[in-house]
Amino acid sequence: MLLTRGRRARRVAVIATVVAVGVIGTTVAAQATSKLKKGQTVYYIPKDTLNPYEVIADRGGKLALTAIGNKQVVQSGTKDTAAAQLPAIQTAIQTGANAIVIAGNDPAALCPQLKQAMAKGIAVVTFDSDTNCRQLFINQADTETIGRSQIQQLGKEMHYTGEFAILSAASTASNQNAWIKFMKIELKKFPKVKLVSTVYGNDDPTTATQVTQGLLQHFPKLKGIISPTTVGILAAAQVVDAAGDKGKVLVTGLGTPLEMKKYILNGTSPDVILWNPANLGYLAAYAAVELASRAITNAQGQSFVAGKLGKFSVGAGHTILLGAPFVFNKANIDKFNF
């Protein structure tokens, strides 16, 4: 089905907004607020310690913590499971950490331990992937926009006709699941675009590669893959490129510009979306230290200055929004260095 004028205009408007508001935060000079306590320890617990995206986010956190006289400890497992993250939470509690910043692998399974931490006065902030129990969630970009934009992009590239699949991360990841929910809502606008399968690569390159190969084998008419994970999209692009399916199977989703540059330039992935992961970790650090210093509470309307990123406020659901995502393509990919 061809898009109506209205639909096309709305889609273009959403993407244009995404591009126009691509700069995250403002450029206020880094500054430490006197209300913030120094010498505190903040545990960063990424989904896993091997994922390059999580490493960049943690580094952003370290930059902020160092600037405000606090210390970072990064600890997690190597698999994207709640069980792999529990030892790190326990260590944070036992060693008397002041705050935990965690990208949850499961929204519910971590709660007994996170609640225990909060009961001991440890500030608990989620970032990247939320859990059901925390004081604040630092959201990378508007969840609905991230989900809908990926369908809009692939739909356009597929001329709004044909089969596609989703390659996600862990099946329990709340961020990917929330984005996929909005992808499915957006998909209703395009009746000739059919989702044939959703598979999980667990943010493990080997698994993501294998499940992508499985998709190409099982769905010979496949025209697209959306991967809302940086690990997944890289694996998918590599598999499609190696299989000689460049241009036949379009790969889109969320990817880091440096990892995806080759595939953006060679046409395997014409458009890729993301935000700046370092800024996400940086903002989470300020939020955690503000809470741990009792300089803010997690109530809606509380605000603080996150160093070079400027001022942020707590919104509905005790959530802080980093900003709008970027769209990377051949025209702008050279400008990004993360």
Instruction: Name the residues that contact ligand RAM, by CB under 6 A.
Output: 47, 51, 53, 103, 128-129, 169, 175, 203, 229-231, 254
Q: For residue 315, give the DSSP letter.
A: B
Which is closer to ligand RAM, CB of 57 or CB of 249? 57
Q: Which of 93, 176, 77 is nearest to 130 (CA)?
A: 176
Taking the CB of residue 116, how many other CB atoms lie within 10 A of it? 13
Closest distance of CB 52 from ligand RAM, Å: 8
Q: Which is nearer to ligand RAM, 40 or 230 (CB)?
A: 230
Q: How far is the CB of 333 from ligand RAM (least distance, A)?
A: 17
Distance from C-alpha of 331 to C-alpha of 338, rounded to nearest angstrom:
17
CB of 320 to ligand RAM, least distance (A): 16
CB of 56 to ligand RAM, least distance (A): 9
- For the bound state, the minimum distance from the C-beta of residue 195 to ligand RAM, rounded and expressed in Å, comes to 19
Cβ-Cβ contacts under 8 Å for 330 (sequence gap 6 or more): 264, 265, 270
CA distance 267 to 302: 45
Do residues 234 and 255 make contact, with C-beta atoms less than 8 angstroms apart?
Answer: yes
C-beta closer to ligand RAM: residue 273 or 309: 273
225 pairs with which residues across the strands?
165, 251
Strand-pairing partners, residue 272, are: 328
Query: Which residue is nearest to ligand RAM, using beta carbons?
Result: 53
Take residue 272 and report the two structure tokens written for it: 């890729």
Cβ pair 72, 326 in contact under 8 A? no
CA neighbours closer than 13 Å in the CB half-sphere of residue 46: 24
Q: What minimum distance in Å lies between the beta carbon of 64 and ligand RAM?
A: 19
Determine whether 39 is exposed, middle or buried from the number of CB atoms within 10 Å of its CB (0-12, 13-18, 19+).
Answer: exposed
Tally the residues of the chain.
338
Instruction: Please identify, using beta-carbon distances, which residue of 154 and 231 lies nearer to ligand RAM.
Output: 231
- Cα torsion 48, 280, 269, 221: sign: positive
Shortest distance (Å) from residue 137 CB to ligand RAM: 13
The number of angstroms, rounded, from the C-alpha of 21 to the middle of its chain's C-alpha atoms is 17
Q: Which is nearer to ligand RAM, 224 or 232 (CB)?
A: 232
229 vs 298 by CB, closer to ligand RAM: 229
Q: Which is nearer to ligand RAM, 140 or 302 (CB)?
A: 140
Q: How far apart are CA 71 and CA 294, in angstroms?
A: 17
Output the smallest distance, CB 8 to ligand RAM, in A: 27
Minimum CB distance to ligand RAM smaller for 72 or for 176:
176
